[in-house]
Chains A and B, each alone.
Chain A
Amino acid sequence: MSILPILTFKAGICDLDTSTSPPKVRPKTQPGYIYLYAEDELVHFCWRPRSAPLDHPELDLVMVPTDGHFQPYDYEDQPATSSQIRTPTNGRIYVLKFSSSSQRHLFWLQSKSQHPSGNPGWFSPRDLKLGQIIDQLLQGEEVDVHDEIANIQNDNDDEPDGDETMEDIEGTGEHGGDHHGSSGGGAGPDATGGDIREEGEPSREGGADGGRALSSTDPSTIVQNFLNSLKGAPSMGPASQAEGKLFTTLGDLLPAETTAPVIEAAGQSTVDHLLSFLPPDLMLLAQEVDDISSVDPNSETARAAIQALSVNQKKDILRRVVRSPQFSQSLASLTAALRDGGLPGISDALRIKVENGGLVRGGGVPLGSGEAVEAFLQGVRRSVEEENGNQSNRMETD
């Protein structure tokens, strides 16, 4: 029977080498397609080499609705005391994972990176949309694939993202010069030197791997690759100030050195306000309540215990919290969530107004990477300024 794919796009397979820690992702060079089709009301998730016919996939997974998820792959292994951003890879890697088993399949996008500076680890809005569409399909949701794709706007689409462009990049080296760092693994002209060798790019020059800075020969670790891709960043022109920037992390914005003075200087009402966002158990523990599980935090006893704490004791709790590994970890999580497109949802939940609702201007996809973090910070600043404005207005009318 003939297979009618719902969706097809260029992707390669990755192996995951778990013998090291962190594990190494090894992309395989072979150009291929991921495609989905439906048969007997179940979605098939398939991969085939581009040379193979539709009905000869090397991978054909029958997906039960809600069992599978298709998401960008980020390696996460945070040391307890650090709060740095997660390390992306030097390629756009997606993972297909299952609720019902620990099976994982990793794939890398073989289409040209849309990043203006050629950062190969950057998921463009279209890339993200693609992943979302697939994920939704795997949940059994209705997706009007045509409309969704037609709606994605790509601001930096200098050229059509057609196959022919990719063939060009594969075949020749000259596009590397035209595009900021796309031949160097996404950093800039500087990165096109020895880095290529380190990252194992010779096969790309041979045109085998679909124009990406990945290779099946020994690539550096995920961290190395990303850093290499950043190497040329400072030397880039204005384009680098556009999308995909690094910006900073919440952990770097809120180290203890910064938060402690603010706590120190806080007045009684601010301290109480901050404490109201922490679990009441902390207050009970400070009161040396023996068995906090036996105390209902909403009870009179609990309230009394909290009231009985001195301002200093309360500040002490706040200080301990901002120094805690759990807080650092949560900052890292939040940073990652913002970078991964969580800005609209998060800002909405917090009632922080962010520009354009957290979406890419003119588009229907969320901001990502450093811009999302920056937009979040700007939204917070705006909130503070508004609050200050309200206060001073009030004062004027007194």
Chain B
Amino acid sequence: MGAPIYAHYRDSRAQFLAYKSPTLKGSRKKKHINIEAVVLREMDKGVFTYLVDNLGVKDVQFEELIALDADSLREISGNRCSSMESPVYGVIFLFKYPTGETRRDTPQKGTFDSEAAENIFFAAQTIQNACGTQALLSVLLNKDGAIDIGSQMRDFKEFTNAFPSDLRGEALSNSELIRDVHNSFARSSPFVDETQRAATEDDDVYHFIAYTPINGSLYELDGLQPAPISHGPCTFDEFPDKVIPVLQERIGRYPATEIRFNLLAMVRDLRIRAKEIGDHEGLVREEHKRTAWQWENALRRHNFLGFTTEILKGVVRSKLQESGTSYDEWVQNATSKTENRLKDRRGGSGSAEGF
């Protein structure tokens, strides 16, 4: 016995390698969203706002719902009176999907409405990490009319109109536009072949669900469930009031220590309202917000490899130009910093999170 790795039996290897299916390989790569690259980990209003913008949707933005009450929800949309003036189109709920929760025959709350699935855009989630986009589209494509979803989304909706929900999910992943836009907002990690990215259990643990009023009922649209879930009658105006208790119940299902959830409201572009009522300050504020979001998104999508190298060169150059020991001191400082930080972590509690 020598090496612990036993490479035997070339015959069997040859037998296996006789299988070659270049078409399968090629078509698989083209067909699917690059799952590994698509990680919308940060449920970020800036990301979502520009994601839908890039899909051709007009005048929609996302805001965080911090307090779980109807007034807060209305306030986000800038609305104090009529919801038609400044509507809340829907709410996206991000939460940790409990391990072991399987698809049930009856939902924990509400009722499966399979018939509604025919009249509602509901797509089964087939691409694991695409669920953020899935949730967005669930709201958007059901608001055609209330929102200008743009020609591309309208085409997509028409195209999938006759499909059952699982096929719609497939269509989502096959749509080049959706795939490209989604991928472009993925956290850019160009140095690492994304397939080498760590298997963070977050990937299948965090889940996005959409809540939106359609055809007079409040629906919960969850691509992992077999059908849309109806929570009873609900008009557009009533949506903020009726969605809150549903959300509260949902959040209440998880242990109190599980605080990792987030709520985004899909609302009309707040700049419009500001212009309408002459709120100059509000308009400026919104414009600044947009600029900040675009800045962040630009950086998010950027491949920093070249820039990093140039900055590193710049620092090296300046250190070499200084005194003889400058460079070594710089490296030594950095090395100590790394070591100390790890030592500090060790001194911390056992439940310290990663780095």
How far is A252 from B312 in the complex, measured between Cα atoms in Å? 12
Q: Which residue of A lies closest to B352 (CB)?
A: A223
Contacts of A222 in B (CB 8 A): 354
Which of B8, B190, B320 sits near A5, CB closer than 8 Å? B8
- Please, which residues of chain B bring their CB within 8 A of the CB of A299? none
A residues in contact with B310, CB < 8 Å: 273-274, 277
A381 touches B320 (CB 8 A): yes
**Contact bitstring A127-151, B, C-beta under 8 A = 1, else 0:** 0001000000101101101100100
Select which of A38, A85, A262, A388 is within 8 A of B320 by beta carbon. A388
Check if B118 is an interface residue, CB within 8 A of chain A.
Answer: no
Contact assessment for B15 and A258 in the assembled complex, using a CB-CB cutoff below 8 Å: no
A293 touching B16, Cβ below 8 Å: no
Within 8 A of A (CB), among B280-303: 287, 291, 294-296, 298-302
Q: With an 8 A cutoff between CB atoms, is A62 at the interface?
A: no
Cα distance A246–B336 when bound, in Å? Answer: 10
List the A side residues contacting B309 at CB < 8 Å: 350, 352, 380
Partner of B346, one of A102, A224, A274, A346: A224
Residues of chain A from 292 to 309 with CB closer than 8 A to chain B in the complex: 292-293
Residue pair A146, B291 in contact (C-beta under 8 Å) = no
CB-CB nearest in chain B for A275: B307
Cβ-closest chain A residue relative to B327: A381
In the assembled complex, how far is the CB of residue B122 from the closest CB belonging to chain A, in whole angstroms?
21
Residue B7 at the A interface, CB < 8 A? yes
Pick the contact of A16: B201, B305, B320, B355 (CB < 8 A).
B201
Residues in A38-72 with C-beta less than 8 Å from chain B: 38, 41-43, 65-66, 69, 71-72
The one of B9, B35, B53 that contacts A99, using a Cβ cutoff of 8 Å: B35
Interface check A259, CB cutoff 8 A = yes
Residue numbers in A under 8 Å from B294 (CB-CB): 281, 285, 292
List of B residues within 8 angstroms of A331 by Cβ: 304, 308
A346 to B327 Cα, complex, angstroms: 23
| A253 near B334: Cβ-Cβ < 8 Å | yes
* Residue B45 lies at the interface, judged by CB distance under 8 Å to chain A: no
B346 touches A161 (CB 8 A): no
B21 and A140 within 8 A (CB): yes
Q: Is the CB of B298 within 8 A of A281?
A: yes
Chain B residue at minimum C-beta to C-beta distance from A332: B355
Q: What is the interface of chain B mostly: helix, strand, loop, or mixed?
A: helix
Contacts of B36 in A (CB 8 A): 99
Do B315 and A253 touch across chains, with their CB atoms under 8 A apart? yes
B304 shortest CB reach to chain A, Å: 4
Residues of chain B within 8 A (CB-CB) of A216 are none
**A263 to B315 alpha-carbon distance, docked (Å):** 9
Whether B338 contacts A246 by the Cβ 8 Å rule is yes
Which residue of the partner chain, among B3, B301, B353, contacts A21 with CB atoms under 8 Å? B353
- For B331, give its contact among A66, A161, A224, A248 (CB under 8 Å): A248
- Check A262 against B354 for contact (C-beta < 8 Å): no
A285 and B5 contact, CB distance less than 8 A: no
Closest to B354 in A: A77
> Contacts of A246 on B, CB cut-off 8 Å?
335, 338-339, 342
User: What CA separation (Å) do A326 and B295 show in the bound complex?
Assistant: 11
Q: A248-B335, A262-B315, A321-B299 are in contact. Are A230 and B354 (CB under 8 A)?
A: no
Specify which chain A residues have a CB less than 8 angstroms from the CB of B28 in the assembled complex. Answer: 66, 99
A337 interface residue, CB < 8 Å from B? Answer: yes
Do A324 and B299 contact each other (CB < 8 Å), given the known contacts A16-B201, A130-B5?
Answer: yes
CB atoms of A277 and B306 under 8 A apart: yes
- Interchain CB contact (< 8 A) of B314 among A106, A274, A349: A274
The answer for the CA separation of A16 and B342 in the assembled complex, in Å, is 23
Contact (Cβ within 8 A) B305 A252: no
Q: Say yes or no: A326 contacts B308, CB within 8 Å.
A: no
In Å, the complex CA distance between A293 and B201 comes to 35
Size bin of chain B's contact surface: 35 or more
From the candidates A41, A160, A321, A346, name the one contacting B18 in the complex (CB within 8 A). A41
Measured CB to CB, the nearest residue on chain B to A225 is: B346
A4–B7 Cα gap in the complex (Å)? 10
Q: Cα distance A247–B333 when bound, in Å?
A: 11
With an 8 A cutoff between CB atoms, is A242 at the interface?
Answer: no
Q: A80, A162, A279: which contacts B302 (Cβ < 8 A)?
A: A279
List chain B residues, Cβ under 8 A from A292.
Answer: 294
Per-residue A-contact encoding for B25-58, CB less than 8 Å = 1, 0 else = 1001100100110000010000000000110000
Cβ–Cβ contact A4 & B350, under 8 A: no
B192 contacts A75, C-beta separation under 8 Å: no
Flag whether A179 is at the interface (Cβ < 8 A).
no
Given A77-B200, A248-B338, A337:B191 Cβ within 8 A:
yes
| A288, A338, A380, most chain B CB atoms within 10 A | A380
In Å, the complex CA distance between A87 and B327 comes to 27
Contacts A102-B203, A139-B25, A333-B190 known; list 20 others, CB within 8 Å.
A6-B7, A6-B13, A22-B354, A37-B16, A77-B354, A162-B4, A221-B351, A222-B354, A227-B342, A254-B312, A259-B315, A290-B287, A324-B299, A327-B307, A330-B188, A330-B308, A334-B308, A350-B309, A377-B316, A381-B316
Instruction: Give residues in A with beta carbon < 8 Å to B.
Output: 4-10, 16, 18-23, 37-38, 41-43, 65-66, 69, 71-80, 82, 84-87, 95, 97, 99, 101-102, 104, 106, 111, 126, 130, 137, 139-140, 142-143, 145-146, 149, 160-164, 166, 220-224, 226-228, 230-231, 246-250, 252-254, 258-259, 261-263, 265-266, 270, 273-274, 277-279, 281-282, 285, 288, 290, 292-293, 320-322, 324, 326-327, 329-331, 333-334, 336-338, 340, 342, 346, 349-350, 352, 377, 380-381, 383-385, 388
